């Protein structure tokens, strides 16, 4: 008996996951594209298609749209939030990634992966000189100095454990 299209889509998806995990985003993109063609209403297929498209081709706007579409189909799936956040981070849109993960914590509180990724991203301090851009040399230098000083202060005076 031949493979049913649904089974073929799942097989393509699994191969795409393996390729993506091993760093072959371009090859994974082909697999996810085929899986999405077979079963386009599967949010996982669309979301991973977006991740691989971003990694392979740098088409961040299209990647974000695919991931957002997938997320709108299934709001309670942590992996979809993680994928969208990954695309945002890779596209240099860190604040959007943080917002996405915060929303993910609302819908998928039990999934620790969202909290872990959110913790890794943290929250940036505001620039010391707000009238200058964040990338201004003076703001960057002062920010690095602040980071070093605060790091030393925390080592000398650690916060009390609750």
User: In terms of domains, do 144 and 80 share one?
Assistant: no
- Do 38 and 86 lie in one domain? The reply is yes
- Summarize pLDDT for 119-148 with one digit per residue, the tens: 888 866 788 898 998 889 998 899 888 878
45 and 102: one domain?
yes
Give me the pLDDT at residue 6, please.
58
Range of the domain at 147: 126-157
Q: Is there a single domain that holds both residue 77 and residue 89?
A: yes
pLDDT lower than 50: segments of the chain: 1-5, 160-162
Indicate the number of domains in the chain. 2
- CATH label of the domain that carries residue 54: 1.25.40.10
State whether 110 and 61 are in the same domain.
yes
Domain contains 162: no
Residues 92 and 82 occupy one common structural domain: yes
What pLDDT does 40 receive? 75
Kindly state whether residues 146 and 87 are assigned to the same domain. no
Question: Would residue 49 count as lying in a domain?
Answer: yes
What pLDDT does 3 receive? 42
Give domain status of residue 80, yes or no.
yes
Q: Are 111 and 132 within one domain? A: no
148 CB burial (10 A radius; 0-12, 13-18, 19+): exposed
Buried b / exposed e over 76-115, threshold 16 CB at 10 Å, is ebbbbbbbbbbbbbebebeebbbebbebbeebbeebeebb
């Amino acid at each position: 008996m031949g493979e049913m299209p649904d089974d073929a889509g799942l097989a393509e998806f699994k191969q795409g996951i393996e390729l993506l995990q091993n760093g072959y985003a371009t090859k994974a993109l082909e697999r996810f594209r085929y899986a999405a063609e077979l079963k386009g209403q599967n949010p996982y297929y669309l979301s991973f298609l977006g991740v691989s498209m971003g990694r392979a081709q740098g088409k961040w706007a299209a990647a974000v749209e695919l991931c957002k579409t997938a997320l709108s189909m299934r709001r309670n799936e942590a992996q979809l939030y993680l994928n969208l956040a990954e695309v945002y981070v890779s596209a240099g849109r860190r604040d959007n990634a943080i917002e996405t993960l915060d929303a993910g914590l609302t819908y998928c509180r039990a999934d620790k992966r969202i909290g872990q990724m959110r913790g890794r991203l943290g929250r940036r301090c505001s620039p010391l000189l707000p009238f200058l851009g964040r990338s201004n040399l003076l703001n960057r230098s002062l920010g690095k100095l602040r980071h070093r000083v605060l790091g030393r202060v925390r080592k000398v005076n650690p916060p009390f454990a609750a």
